[in-house]
Structure 1
């Protein structure tokens, strides 16, 4: 038997989830595919109302603490934002979370707790991948907690006067934050292999502040 599954954990599940979400998003006329042949990135405008975005920004201010990295991957100055997890039992948070699930067509059980992030002038998140590298020390814990990350859903909560783009350097793409826009991407390719071209960064904010919420989806029940 081939050792591909050992070399690429959750390969079949990543391919299956990719097919399901791809079909769902392509059938949604509200969703726009970002032009690139090397990754699957989609955007949906007006996902959240201005009032909802303001409320979420206030919630981030309440829970925000200095952002962290996975054990063993720490680098000084790599992630300098503030972030915090929301209470998934909060009815407002749960409603936003369900809308994300419904947009992608994924079961709620696959989704991690929504995390809010705040970037002030000069703060950034240097280029990184959202999927997990099985060779890292954190992998065994994450394998038990739901396996590989499949899709990422990121909601921009405000316009940023300057800087703060979500940049995909390998794709030569930079997405400017716009209030209420939901950005979604597949962290794997159609074959279920994690896609190195999804390397992305939160570029330094130059003017103003940047607020986003992010939900990551696993291949199995999270947690």
Structure 2
């Protein structure tokens, strides 16, 4: 049962509730996917979603254009998010097929997906406890409504093993994921009624030794991209 009492950051939504049910049913029907052992949120893992080659390629892209990570809202703690981020080129031959595979896996329209973001954590870097959903009473909410509205599902993939530290910890859900190359973690940021689920609060814990690379894909309840979204066509001409 959710412990999301007194921390609701938005209202229930039949549309988001439907999205949650449909994606969860799709993931639970896939034998490669396992539901995490928590009742606090719909959360899943998919080992080896990306190959070693794909992970290496994405790491190169992240390193080539990394910038200090930012926050949507201001925060008084300068140590709150200390990683580097890269907005990956959605339409590039390297990113597009991976981008499409994630959307197909979840059964969500590619147009609802934000630009895939890569993150790099050096030793000592972290992302303190936060939720991926938007606070509907915040100043930025009106702008979010213009671009697809609330975030529903998050898909995150570890691109490398980390020597020490760097786990993704969900303290309210009681779940911790250790970085493992190619492992995808997927979760619904909403409660069953479509309201934001505070039990999805999570933290990218401090890297102690080595570096940590991940990609993150966030999906909105409505279209984030305006206009036509083409289907990926590989270099061999095969449509995906």
Instruction: Specify the TM-score bucket, using the shorter chain as the normaliser.
Output: over 0.9
- CA shift in 2, pair 1:73/1:133, >3 Å: farther
Deviant stretches of 4+, over 3 Å:
7-10, 71-75
Q: TM-score, normalised by structure 2?
A: 0.88
Any idea what SS the aligned residue of 1:42 has?
A: strand
Q: 1:142 aligns with which of 141, 144, 160?
A: 144
Separation in 2, partners of 1:74, 1:19: 37
Q: Deviations over 1:126-163 (max 9, x none)?
A: 00000000111111111111100000000100000110
Within-5 A mapping of 1:74-113:
75-113=77-115
* Structure-1 residue corresponding to 2:169: 167
Mapped to 2, the partners of 1:120 and 1:113 lie a distance apart of 23
Counterpart CA distance in 2 for 1:162 and 1:192 is 36
| Aligned with 2:155 (options 145, 149, 153) | 153
8 Å CA contact 2:122–2:212 kept in 1: the answer is: yes
1:44 to 20, 36, 46: 46
Report the equivalent of 2:59.
57
Q: Report the alpha carbon displacement of residue 13 of structure 1 after superposing the two structures with TM.
A: 1.7
Contact 1:109 1:222 survives alignment (8 Å)? yes
Q: Paired residue for 1:128?
A: 130
C-alpha separation in 2, matches of 1:171 and 1:110: 26
Aligned twin of 1:31: 33
Q: What is the Cα deviation at residue 190 of structure 1?
A: 1.2
Q: Partner residue of 1:182?
A: 184
1:71 is displaced (CA, Å) by 3.5
| TM-score of the two chains, using structure 1 as the length reference | 0.94
C-alpha distance in structure 1 between counterparts of 2:75 and 2:152, whole Å: 20
CA contact (8 A) 2:38 2:174 kept: no
1: CA distance, partners of 2:173 / 2:219: 22
Q: Which has the higher helix share?
A: 1
In 2, Cα distance between the equivalents of 1:68 and 1:39?
26
Note the C-alpha offset of 1:73: 4.2
